[in-house]
A = this chain, B = another copy of it.
Amino acid sequence: MEKVNIKNKLSLFSDYWSPKIIGELNGQYVKLCKLKGEFVWHKHDNEDEMFYVIDGLLKIEFRDKTISIDKGEFLIVPKGVEHKPIAEKEVSAMVFEPVSTLNTGDTKGDFTVEKLDKI
């Protein structure tokens, strides 16, 4: 049992759209991710997904609106809802979702990370 310091963990990687596992509890992963640019449209059929912004401004496009999530804010995207994260400048975010969740959901492609690193 060790505490986790978010800033320390953020200093350990620099690649975008490649979530790192920093914790696990009750079948859920706590992940840390750096985002820059536009991600792909996707949805998770069976998993709700929480984005908590540590630094920067994260925009998440939905089919009918866009929600901007600032530092110290979070958004829970319910299962089945199509979304597309966009970070005009670098964003650091903590993500909570089940262990089973694939980052690109139902849209496998270049952004898909099958095997996540634990840091």
Give A contacts to B, CB under 8 Å.
1-7, 23-28, 30, 47-50, 62, 67-70, 72-78, 81, 96-98
Contact = CB atoms under 8 A, between A and B. Distances in A.
Copies of this chain, complex-wide, total 2
Closest 3 CB pairs of A and B: A25-B48, A3-B75, A5-B73
Contacts of A7: 72
Contacts of A68: 3
Contacts of A98: 26
Contact of A28 (B28, B67, B77): B28
Nearest to A46: B26
Contacts of A69: 3
Contacts of A48: 25-26
